[in-house]
Amino acid sequence: MSTVENKVIAITGASSGIGEATARLLAHQGLRVILGARRTDRLEAIAAEIRSQGGEAEYRTLDVTNLEDMQAFVEFAQAKFGRLDVVVNNAGVMPLSRLEVLKIDEWNRMIDVNIRGVLHGIAAALPLFKEQRSGQFVNLSSIGGHNVYPTAAVYCATKFAVWAISEGLRQESTDIRVTVISPGVTETELASTITDAEAAEWVGGFREAVIPADAIARAIAFAIAQPAEVDVNEIIVRPIGQMS
């Protein structure tokens, strides 16, 4: 892991699921991690456990839908460790429902967190990465960024957008690495955001085969660990047997 030693990684949505698993794995590998999420108590507990195991971790309350908050998160990382090498734009929500139910507030929440949150992460760190002529964005899309499912039209649209934004940034960049990670069915809290009974029942059946969040963390670690001249652009990770 010599190619990642001492790298500083800022992770959004780090209080549970993929974000938490990524923070724990990378810290174990010797990277310095900054955890961001709304649940400060969870961040504090995770950071304390990482430190107790010899890792380096800091945390800050973060709302990715607020650009100024995201900018402050990036500045916090620089202040704590003197640099920033990777931003993992992981925060996301998934309140599924059929379009005809018109859960417009939930549509807007997905757009705000899943799309604007990623854009804010890019806007906050891109000037720094351009200045230092290096850096990496790891943006979490989904298998829903490759396929569309009933009850998931808006969610899938936001994850298709993450892919499109990432690909555009990749094409515009000559010195910044851009990676899209697309998880299949994974053990996270995403399903807990569903308020629609029909969608919850559908997801319950869809989630019969599931992989741990650590599987996605390992994919993120792999992309980060590549030599500086290597850009892993996209990884899809899903359970064996997941059809789509």
- The per-residue DSSP string of 46-104 comes to HHHHHHHTT-EEEEEE--TT-HHHHHHHHHHHHHHHS---EEEE---------GGG--H
Tokens representing residue 173 in the block: 């960049």
Q: Does the pLDDT at position 202 exceed 70?
A: no
Active site residue 155: yes
Residue-level pLDDT at 133: 96
Catalytic residue among 76, 107, 129, 155: 155
Q: Does the pLDDT at position 6 exceed 60?
A: yes
- CATH code of the region 8-237: 3.40.50.720
pLDDT 10s digits, 113-145: 999 999 999 999 999 999 999 999 999 999 999
Q: Which residues pair with 37 in a beta bridge?
A: 61
Residue-level pLDDT at 2: 41
Residue-level pLDDT at 188: 73
Residue-level pLDDT at 195: 77
- Average pLDDT taken over every residue of the chain: 93
pLDDT 10s digits, 75-113: 999 999 999 999 999 999 999 999 999 999 999 999 999
Residue-level pLDDT at 74: 98
Of 94, 49, 62, the C-alpha closest to 186 is: 94
Q: What is the percentage of the chain residues whose pLDDT exceeds 90?
A: 85
Burial-class residue 106 by CB neighbours within 10 Å (0-12, 13-18, 19+): buried
Q: Does the pLDDT at position 26 exceed 80?
A: yes
Give the whole-angstrom CA distance, residue 62 versus residue 39: 8
Label residue 193 by pLDDT band (50, 70, 90). Answer: confident
pLDDT 10s digits, 33-90: 999 999 999 999 999 999 999 999 999 999 999 999 999 999 999 999 999 999 999 9
Residue predicted with more confidence, 13 or 210: 13
The domain ranges of the chain are: 8-237
pLDDT 10s digits, 205-244: 555 678 999 999 999 999 999 999 999 999 999 999 787 6
pTM for the predicted model, two decimal places = 0.93
Label residue 204 by pLDDT band (50, 70, 90). Answer: low
Residue carrying structure tokens 């999420």? 37
